[in-house]
Structure 1
Amino acid sequence: MTAAATPTWDPAQYLRHADHRARPFADLLARVPDLPGDPARIADLGCGPGNVTAVLVRRWPTAHITGYDNSPQMLERAQAYAGATAGGGRLDFAHADAEAWAPTQTYDLIVSNAALQWVEGHLDAFSGWLDALAPGGTFAFQVPNNIDAPLHALMRELGTSARWKDRLGDVLRHTDSVHAPGVYLDRLARLGCEADVWETTYLHVLEGEDPVLDWVKGTGLRPVLTVLADDPEARDAFVAEYRDLLREAYPSAGYGTVLPFRRLFAVARKEA
């Protein structure tokens, strides 16, 4: 992403929907095969506040796991999970920007949960990351694949309107921030991997007042909130306009508000 669009993250806001956000990671890990190393060496690229990185310990209790992120706020929150694990492994965290991350050691698993959509040109990074895998190692990731959903389409429409385009027209994610499933399959297969790529649409039932707005405040709206942080009046005006659009697009029912959310998954195993 460009420097102007790099968001400032709010771990507390992100974690307000932690259960919904963690479920795809569990579904991704369920398809990851056994790892070649014992103890395994694992990298979590874009680890955020560390709550899902800690889930890796349950599957690989003896592993040395490092979570990487470029957000100081997220890394500070993640430190609560750092240290020796009950199974004899270790969990730690380090600063790294996925756009420039070049592994300096060998990993049995490189995993990324809902982060690569923020990494411009991430397809071109796959070759170097796969080179860092041990024979028989796995690269696995999931990304939101709903950039055409009202959640994002309305944000882009508002952000490029006459009132906002000068300040916000260049800060939002583009429609090509995530590629079609076949593009990932082709790239991973051509790099010599046995690749499994699929999509799942989750129907998240959210509770509370304006829950879809609350959800997106933790993720897709962060660039807008960052750019307008020094102008609270403008920030509140944009959020109010966007909130009204979301209320119409995602009406509340008696049992909550349904947010359909499509995600793309890939598990690529390097030849042993």
Structure 2
Amino acid sequence: MTAGADLASRAARDWNSDLYLKFEEERTRAARDLLARIPYCETRRVYDLGCGPGNSTELLTRSFPGAAVVGIDRSDNMLAVARARVPAAEFVKADVAHWEAPAAADVIFANATLHFLPDHRNLIQRFVAWLRPGGRLAVQMPDNTYEPSHAAMRMVAADGPWANRLVPVAKSLTVIGQPEEYYDLFAPLCRTIDIWKTVYIHPLHGPEDVVEWFEGSGLRPFLDLLSPEETGDFLSRYRERLAQAYPRQPDGKVLLRYPRLFFVLQK
């Protein structure tokens, strides 16, 4: 295998649903909070963008029992878990960045998905266009670019033999804007906008848990470009920085501060 083919193979590695679901309760909490703020109206078709292992899709099928619920994801592993978990829903393999709704939607739900996409502002405008009149777009995006967890990622990426590969990745990661920016952008498109920010505090067992949390999400753009040997070295250095950034509490746990930006738009 050539070096280029090997890199492409590693970059195409699938998501790990087991690792993602280790913190299912913490991850699903934001989806529940987002769902709770969706205004009621008759709902026939719901799309769950970036549905992952189906934890958010399951919530949607329960909240909209009469609707056709469709989960969208590009990971075969995640979709297999989601299909087994939520047999009442339909699941489609697609890249959210290029997905188009085949039929008008009453609800488009995007929980912890759009922050991975650099053009998410234009995508959100497209999603609004696919809503029926009165339809709702519900979005939640982690806003932790400047948290110690993510600052440590960038520092380790820049301080190692992989720097020439990983620094461009660090520079290309999406930065979430201020709430006012999104309000001003979407106000002309919508009847109502509900926008808010929540900072969750997650007690975890130690720096190792913080590493595993982000192995299933934020670290993926970095780790996908590393060999198995480099991955071990990268994670070891990352763990050392986290141990400094997240001191243990008297009970031995560490507190992961996790800001998230939410908004619900009604067309």
**Contact kept in structure 1, 2:246 and 2:255, CA below 8 Å:** yes
Correspondence for 2:254 among 232, 247, 257: 257
Correspondence for 2:235 among 221, 235, 239: 239
| Residue of structure 1 equivalent to 2:132 | 134
Q: Which runs of 5+ in 2 are unaligned?
A: 1-8
| Residue of structure 1 equivalent to 2:3 | none
Distance 1:173 1:190 in 2: 31
Distance 2:159 2:40 in 1: 50
Shift of 1:146: 1.0
Secondary structure, counterpart of 1:142 in structure 2: strand
| Residue of structure 1 equivalent to 2:150 | 152
Identical amino acids, percent of aligned pairs: 38
Distance 1:105 1:72 in 2: 23
Correspondence for 2:23 among 11, 17, 22: 17
User: Greater share of helix residues, 1 or 2?
Assistant: 2
Distance 2:206 2:233 in 1: 21
Does residue 32 of the first structure (1) align with residue 38 of the second (2)? yes
Distance 2:90 2:257 in 1: 34
Correspondence for 2:117 among 97, 116, 119: 119
Cα RMSD for the two superposed structures? 2.0
Aligned 1:211-250 pairs, distance under 5 A: 211-228=209-226, 231-250=227-246
Number of aligned residue pairs: 259
Distance 1:5 1:147 in 2: 22
Distance 2:228 2:256 in 1: 28
Aligned 1:60-139 pairs, distance under 5 A: 60-84=64-88, 91-139=89-137
What's the CA shift string for 1:188-214, capped at 9, x where partnerless?
112234111110000111125621112
Shift of 1:175: 5.7
**Contact kept in structure 2, 1:5 and 1:171, CA below 8 Å:** no
Distance 1:234 1:175 in 2: 21
What's the CA shift string for 1:43-75, capped at 9, x where partnerless?
001101111211112211111100001112211
**Contact kept in structure 1, 2:207 and 2:243, CA below 8 Å:** no
**Contact kept in structure 2, 1:140 and 1:267, CA below 8 Å:** yes
Shift of 1:182: 1.3
Q: Which runs of 5+ in 1 are unaligned?
A: 85-90
Task: Mark the CA change 1:127 to 1:208 in structure 2 (over 3 Å): closer, same or farther.
Answer: closer
Does residue 49 of the first structure (1) align with residue 53 of the second (2)? yes
Secondary structure, counterpart of 2:176 in structure 1: coil
Q: 1:57 is aligned with what amino acid?
A: T
Shift of 1:78: 1.0
